[in-house]
Amino acid sequence: MRKIFFLLIIGFLLAACGSPASKAASGTTTGQGAVTSSTTATSSSTKVSSSAFPSPCSLITKAQVSSIMSVPINSITSDPSGNTPQCTWSYKSSKLVTGLGSNAVLEISRPSPGQTPTMYYQILFDAANKPYEFRKTLVDNIPAAIGFLNNEVEVDTGSALISIATLSTVHGSDNAKDAEELAGIAVTNFCSRLSCVK
């Protein structure tokens, strides 16, 4: 019981902050890697003020999160402050038999000045970030990365970095599948409002 509770707390903290994606967004590391050539447009050509970003909570509905994660979401918190607006959908339970809860966190941030999507993914795939095991995927036909214990999806749309992390202790849940599905919804809705590199 203590082990499950400890892993839940650590996972929730890691999902919300401190991932290599945060370092990539701030441009604090460099990498050597390759991703598809469709991501070579520079972020400066699609520069959008973070104040023009839609609220993360407006990109995915409570019903969608609940359906994908197979839990009744009983808390939504929004943090629109700073350069990284964030939305968190949570399910909390006191029943160890069914799992203590689930959490999905969506964050939108601006790419570092001059950083292209290719550069961003190179950082994630760099050997220094190997413990986080990021690998290539596609989200709404945009090159993306999934990793950080298979529960975090990072998408560089050219105008924004969209990050979604999920964590669930509910039996039968699939964090990687949940994160990819939720990322797909968020990116589709984001790209319908602002420009995206495809």
- What 3-state DSSP class applies to 106? strand
Q: How far apart are CA 179 and CA 69, in angstroms?
A: 9
- Within a domain: 136: yes
**What does each C-alpha distance from 30 to 27, 130, 131, 163, 188 come to in angstroms?**
7, 13, 16, 19, 29
pLDDT digits (tens, 9 = 90+) for 72-122: 999 999 987 766 889 999 998 776 655 678 899 999 999 989 999 999 999
DSSP 167: E
CB 89 within 8 A of CB 179: no
Helix (H) or strand (E) holding 87: strand 86-92
CATH number at residue 67: 3.40.1000
Q: How far apart are CA 137 and CA 141, in angstroms?
A: 9
* Domain range for 102: 2-193
Closest CA relative to residue 178, chosen from 15, 18, 35, 6: 15
pTM comes to: 0.73
- Within a domain: 126: yes
pLDDT digits (tens, 9 = 90+) for 160-183: 999 999 988 876 678 889 999 999
- Within a domain: 198: no
- Within a domain: 128: yes
